[in-house]
Amino acid sequence: MWNYSETVKDHFFNPRNAKALEDANAVGDVGSISCGDALRLTLKVNEETDIIEDAGFQTFGCGSAIASSSALTELIIGKTMAEAEELTNQEIVDYLGGLPAEKMHCSVMGQEALEAAIANYRGIELVDDDHAEGKLICRCFAIDEGKIFRAVEKNNLTTIEDVINYTKAGGACTSCHEKIEMVIDEVIASKKVEVAAEKAIEPTSTKPISSLPPTNKLTQKVLEILGNLRPYLQADGGDVNLVKASEHLIVVSLSGACTGCMMTDMTLGWLQEQFSEALGWSIPVVNHIPEAQLA
What pLDDT is stored for residue 146 in this prediction?
Answer: 81
Q: Which helix (H) or strand (E) holds 32?
A: strand 26-32
Pairing of strands 285-287, 250-256: parallel
Q: Give the C-alpha separation, 191 to 207, whole Å.
A: 24
What pLDDT is stored for residue 139 in this prediction?
Answer: 79
Closest-CA residue to 75 (of 62, 89, 63): 89
What pLDDT is stored for residue 237 in this prediction?
Answer: 82
Amino acid type, 120: N
Per-residue pLDDT tens over the stretch 93-111: 999 999 998 899 999 999 9
Q: pTM for this structure? A: 0.58
pLDDT at 82 over 70: yes
| Range from 85-99, 214-228, 229-243 that averages highest in pLDDT | 85-99
Q: What is the mean pLDDT of the chain?
A: 82
3-class state of residue 173 by DSSP: coil
What pLDDT is stored for residue 174 in this prediction?
Answer: 87
What pLDDT is stored for residue 141 in this prediction?
Answer: 78
Catalytic: which of 35, 62, 140, 261? 35
What pLDDT is stored for residue 35 in this prediction?
Answer: 59
Per-residue pLDDT tens over the stretch 235-256: 878 888 888 888 778 888 888 8
> Residue 7's pLDDT band (boundaries 50, 70, 90)?
very high
What's the rounded mean pLDDT across residues 205-231?
68
Catalytic: which of 106, 138, 176, 258? 106
Q: Do 56 and 35 meet the contact criterion of CB atoms below 8 Å apart?
A: no
Q: Mention every residue, 6+ apart, whose C-beta is less than 8 A from residue 196.
A: none
Residue 35: active-site member: yes
What pLDDT is stored for residue 127 in this prediction?
Answer: 56
Per-residue pLDDT tens over the stretch 46-76: 999 999 999 999 999 889 999 999 999 999 9
Q: Give the C-alpha separation, 19 to 66, whole Å.
A: 12
pLDDT at 194 over 50: yes
Per-residue pLDDT tens over the stretch 30-43: 987 655 688 999 99
> Residue 199's pLDDT band (boundaries 50, 70, 90)?
low
What pLDDT is stored for residue 294 in this prediction?
Answer: 36
Residue 261: active-site member: no
Strand partners, 27: 42
